[in-house]
Structure 1
Amino acid sequence: MTDHRDVAIVRWPGQTPSVGDGLAALLAAYHLRTEAEKGEPVADVDHLPDRYRAEVTDPRTALAGDVVLVALQEDAAVGCLVVTSADNGQSEIKRLWTDPESRGQGIASALLGAALRHAAESGVRTVRLSVWEWRTGAIALYERLGFTVTQSRDGRKQLVCMQRTL
């Protein structure tokens, strides 16, 4: 893994105006890839399920109340992650995505580290997430960072639920 000191993690929306377009592109890639992996490929963003299309076309509204972290290399958005608002001492991590050309550089680890720090600073005691079982690299990363598999909170088959106590 390459040292990721040249990666800046910023909150969106924020001071960097170009992040919005880069975030939308990352979310689009995430959702299109996920639908394809689930065996339900769609041609483009316009054909995504409504709630996913809303995240891409209007992330400010769709993700209102959540903290969105974006990894930047120079001015390019190369990764993203969403941390939900705390609820009963718990938050959820979702939409972790690194641009495929930027993988292997520690970007996902940097995003997760920033998310865990934010959660701890917000008084969160438990961070949860769910991941598709075929995303074995992501599962291994979560386990390295102290997440453990827990009972499913979701009825979808092939979804692995994990959590970490802070």
Structure 2
Amino acid sequence: MSEPATSVVRVDVDAHRSLLEGLLAEYHRWMETVVGRETRVSYDADARVDSDLRDVLDPAMACLGWLAFRGDTPAGCVLFYGVADDKAELKRLYVRPAHRGHGLGQALTETVVDVAAGRGYGTLALTTPPWSDAAHALYDSLGFERTGPYPETRLPEQYHDDAIFMQLDLTDWAD
């Protein structure tokens, strides 16, 4: 039996809202469980899903989203924010557990990198929890470097001590 085809598509809010909402809810429920276990910080998954959806719907937020599919099955998502004149931020990279190991996280990340570079951003930044070893390996393989918190991060300050901050120089990406 052959492997299902994979694809990454930009979120069309009218057509994909419920798919994106479902994936974001899974991501935030996972985060709520792990944050509760690993830290002493509270995490409200429902409020975060609502916030992410408002951002995607609000043109002033400069937020774009993509969905990854394996065949016809929605398997992952990622969000992109333009946070400063020269900096963009990757957020909410999530691949459903049953679909991990098929390159979807890399495809979603490379899509955001390509879009950020194509829009003239010099840096793509992200935050990731310290327990996401697979994500760290992916970001490392693409050339992201660990940094301290950057002023434009959308991560609330209360989470800074429990996060890894990374940035990619997009001029290197284009080479």
TM-score normalised by structure 2 residue count: 0.78
Q: Mind listing any 5+ residue stretches in structure 2 that lack a counterpart?
A: 38-43, 151-156, 171-175
- Structure-1 separation of matches of 2:118 and 2:53: 30
**Structure 1 partner of 2:27:** 30
Superposed displacement of residue 62, structure 1: 6.2
Q: Percent identity?
A: 27
2:57 aligned residue (57, 61, 64)? 61
Superposed displacement of residue 102, structure 1: 0.4
Q: What pairs with 1:8-157 in structure 2 (closer than 5 Å)?
A: 8-13=7-12, 17=15, 19-39=16-36, 48=45, 50=47, 52-55=48-51, 60-61=56-57, 64-85=61-82, 87-153=84-150, 154=157, 156-157=160-161
Superposed displacement of residue 24, structure 1: 1.1
- Structure-2 separation of matches of 1:54 and 1:68: 15
Kindly tell me the number of residue pairs found equivalent between the two proteins. Answer: 155
**CA RMSD between the two structures:** 2.5
- Structure-1 separation of matches of 2:127 and 2:24: 17
Partner SS for 1:33:
helix
| Alpha-carbon displacement from aligned partner over 1:103-136 (angstroms, at most 9, x marks no partner) | 0000000001111110111001100000011111
Q: 1:59 to 1:27 in 2, by over 3 A?
A: farther
Q: 1:116 to 1:65 in 2, by over 3 A?
A: same
**Structure 2 partner of 1:165:** 169
**Structure 2 partner of 1:43:** none
- Structure-2 separation of matches of 1:95 and 1:20: 15
Q: Mind listing any 5+ residue stretches in structure 1 that lack a counterpart?
A: 41-46
- Structure-1 separation of matches of 2:19 and 2:55: 11
Report the AA paired with residue 144 of structure 1. Answer: S
| Alpha-carbon displacement from aligned partner over 1:39-97 (angstroms, at most 9, x marks no partner) | 16xxxxxx6353x0314665643685211011122322111000102522100000000
- Structure-1 separation of matches of 2:117 and 2:45: 33
TM-score normalised by structure 1 residue count: 0.82
**Structure 1 partner of 2:173:** none
Partner SS for 2:102:
coil
Task: Judge which range, 30-39 or 65-74, deviates more.
Answer: 65-74
